[in-house]
Amino acid sequence: MESKATKLRSVLLSVALAAAALVPGVGNPASAETGVQLDATQIVTDLGAGWNLGNQLEANSNGYPSETAWGLPTVTQALIDKVKAAGFKSIRIPVSYLRNIGPGPDYTINAAWLNRIQQVVDYAYNRGLYVLVNMHGDGYKTVTGSWLICDAGGQSDIKAKYQKVWQQVANRFRGYDQRLILESMNEEFDGQYGTPTQPCYSNINAYNQIFVDTVRRTGGSNSSRWLLVPGWNTNIDYTAGNYGFVVPTDQYRSTSIPASEKRLMISVHYYSPWDFAGEESGTITQWGRGATNPAKKSTWGQEDYLDAQLKAMHDKFGVQGYPVVVGEYGAIDKSAFDSANNRYRADFARAIVSTAKKYGAATVYWDNGANGQYGFGLFDRRTYAVTHQGIIDAIMSGLRS
């Protein structure tokens, strides 16, 4: 997330196409749905513990996506295998397109970039993992080459571009089964951390609707796969509250889906309290009822707040059959200031996962590949070593609670 400093910190075409050929329906897209269809309870259970491949396919240099632009190495099959071995069942892959999108009216995505996205997806998908693919950095004003700006002029052109990009991505993955989930966008808002504004929120709703309609119309498994949509800045209050979020209609979905079931999920993120989870300072290093030093614990955002937040999402969306996905959560490493900090980071992760389970939501830990001070990393992306087994254990225990 470009607006959070701690989170910011080509493969040959023949190789990519060879990998793609291993996936049913990619070289010759399926004309019908494939794979088992899962209802709301089943999809959340199957997603299990999730992990973000952060700061890689959304990284960029001067507006051109590059997975090594922010100092991390090329993503490998070995890394994904390590993540799976640690117990994670799903992987979210943030993706930026930016200046790899050509001019209108076709807005063609650079072929090598789309092939590389598919190859990284296949690293996880071909190992039996669930994969969530989003559009990540294209909506941040602070990112060079961004264009999905909800309060910009020329919305008709923006929407046309957005539709064409998702059409291409959806066509590329239309033969993949229900273990692939597409997510419309990431933390879309006007860049100001305040009450949602209009017409910005109405444009976000319009983007979500375009996304759902476009993906569904490409057919194949896309007509029934689960799709993930966020509200304003993936903020729980501004999504569950009366601030303007509208769940997209799903009029083009497959008639094979039972009328009583949904195929849309609602995306939110959880970094509360920010002074513990994300603020680059050594002041607040402890969290939860186990905190031993009141001066190092935030005055808000503890277990009761977490419970109320996820209950609000359940009461607004879960009861209607729309699963909630906490697509990002975690807390930065402040152990340089407090040797006990990693214990509280683990407590925080465990509480989020267990509370989400209580309310029927899935969770995906934010890993930005950075280890040491202010990092979110759980793995060393060069050696593939686990760097925070305690946090991983806490995530897994949260699912068992």
**Are the beta carbons of 119 and 18 closer than 8 angstroms?**
no
pLDDT at position 151? 97
d(CA 213, CA 163): 9
**Are the beta carbons of 296 and 344 closer than 8 angstroms?**
no
pLDDT at position 31? 37
User: Residue 121 phi/psi, 5° resolution?
Assistant: -55, -45
Residues of the chain with pLDDT under 50: 1-32
pLDDT at position 301? 98
Determine the structural domain holding residue 22 and report its residue range.
Answer: 5-400
d(CA 123, CA 11): 14
Give catalytic residues, as residue numbers.
187, 328
**Are the beta carbons of 177 and 223 closer than 8 angstroms?**
no
pLDDT at position 401? 86
CATH number at residue 385: 3.20.20.80
DSSP three-state, residue 16 = helix
- Beta-bridge partners for 125: none
Q: Half-sphere exposure of 389 toward its Cβ, with a 13 Å CA cutoff?
A: 4
d(CA 390, CA 378): 9
pLDDT at position 37? 82
d(CA 315, CA 241): 11
Q: How many domains does the chain have?
A: 1
